[in-house]
Structure 1
Amino acid sequence: MLVEKQEFFKLQSKLDQIAFTQTKAWLESSGLENTYKIVYYVDKVDKPNIASWGIITSKIVGGDKLILDGISTKNDISSNEYKDFFASLIIDGYSRINISDIQEYSTDFEIGIRRAGFTRPITLSLCPMSMIVELDKDMKYSRMWKRNVKKSIEAGNQFVVVDNPSLEDAKTFVQLFNQLKERKELGFSLSPKEILTLLSSGEYKLFFIEDKEHKKICGRIEYMDNMLIYDTYAANSSDGLKLGGVYHIQQSIFEYFKDRNYLKFDYGRISPSADYMDNIYISKSMSGGKPISYNGQWHYSKSRYVDILLFVVSYGLRKNRIY
């Protein structure tokens, strides 16, 4: 059922697993409210089990589309509870509905969403896999990982925890991110205001590695959800890569949250592949993480012909990446 924004986030706070893309801070930092109509769904208001906010886009081809990026839930949701929630979205009359969920794969989720009328999309545009590091167990770093951390420490680099983030901290992080963006040709940008909004919520934590001259060379922002840490944004300079800072900051973050009794760290969409992306998978696997699958992407459409047309445009003409 639809509720207002204020009531939605009040009800969401009662849930056990809240996706980082579903927080109030994420919504308000994104600027989506200035561009799209935002809708807020919960399964029920007395004892909520499932909640998700999303955007509505209107296209000349295909009509109104609802996009839900993340689902927040109580633990141990049944397939019938999932079915009833997702079926209620279809009843509201959207021409198309796209759902992406980053909770670890659940058969109850898949049974429920399929029985509601959803299928997998024609192709996946988001990586359906990730890697989890279990912080409550002994860490098993590879020798190469350990060598890089040692190199960073011997170079005089220091791990910095930012407890009281400022606009200057946000600007520094964005400057590092822009260097990463240029190297990897990323298709999105960040602003200091956006980053500071996230950090000011208290749900996201900023970390840096600085060199012996106190220059920041690596940065990372992590989302804290119950006992799970989700890797949200990374930023590093070329010096951070050369001096092993990217390994140093990651290991230090593991240790920071391990000391605070967090259970898991999710790297966020790490996929093995046959191209350059496999280097990222190999690098992350050196931390001793284990691969997992997400609930992933799901789709509902009133017209299969529109789906095929949009597939041709997105992946035939624009050549978007396929997973």
Structure 2
Amino acid sequence: MGRTPRRRRRPAPRRGPGRRRGEITPENTLDTYNKSWRVWERFCAATSLPEREGSRGVLVAFVTWMLREGQQNGKGYAPTLASTHLAAAVVGLRQRGVQVSGDDQAAARAALEGLAVKLLQAGERRGRGQAVGADIHGLRAIARSCPDTLTGDRDKALVLTGFHYASRSQDPAGLLTGKTKHSVRNAKIRYADDPEICPVRAWTAYRTRLAAEADPRWSAPDAPAFVGIDQWGHITGGMGPDSVTRAIKRISKRAGVPIHWTGHSLRIGLASVGCAKGKDGIAIADQGGWARHSRSMLIYMQRDDGWDDNASAGLT
């Protein structure tokens, strides 16, 4: 009998670095890229410039246009948002094979900073400014103000766990009981020394009550970790990013926090409180899902007035 010829296995196709990056890029980042590319397309249509052009002159014209009239209502963008659109547009150009040099991008960014200074000198401030960061005093006030209801237990768990992993609004909205849809990071949340503001105890109390008072499907492994609850105590489904933002604002207002928190306050809070308590910057970055030495994280590491831990202290 003759031998049956062996079939050769075809090697699995190699995935290029661009594809691998796309597979691990968070959805919120991809959304930013898409939004910024649409801004770039509007700029090119308004100025009759080609979309596949990334020269210094075009990038400088882009930032100038954004600050002057870039929004769809004809008003100019805030410099911080224009900076985000510039960075994302450069990514979009490079993804489409356009060569954009670092020097040309730096020149556009310098032009943006110069225009931003002129706006400040003219007394014009755009944008809402940076959200206020959560702090320990505010966490305690919130924990004490949450009512003894399923909604109250959910509110407490939402804020306390969110603070400990530096959540953005989309993060708790994407969490499932057993996994997450929007993030690949695995933040470790420990028991707190103070039981009143312990995220683990708050989470356990919320999930225990949810299992006891709601339909069992809301406690299933693939159920949303945080559910919407109407005024009558009925589950309305999983919370979305907008409902998380509204909830955090409502919760902080109920607690009497002087400046109401936003969906970004918990993220800022972990960085600023961690820095104030002497936590290592790399440890903060890993916990919050920032790139190590992230510029935005460093901005979040706020100091109240600059007197504590002043860089010039003891130099002379």
Normalised by the size of structure 2, how large is the TM-score? 0.29
Structure number with larger C-alpha Rg: 2
Q: Which has the higher contact order (CA 8 A, sep 6+)?
A: 1
More helix by share: 2
Query: Greater share of strand residues, 1 or 2?
Result: 1
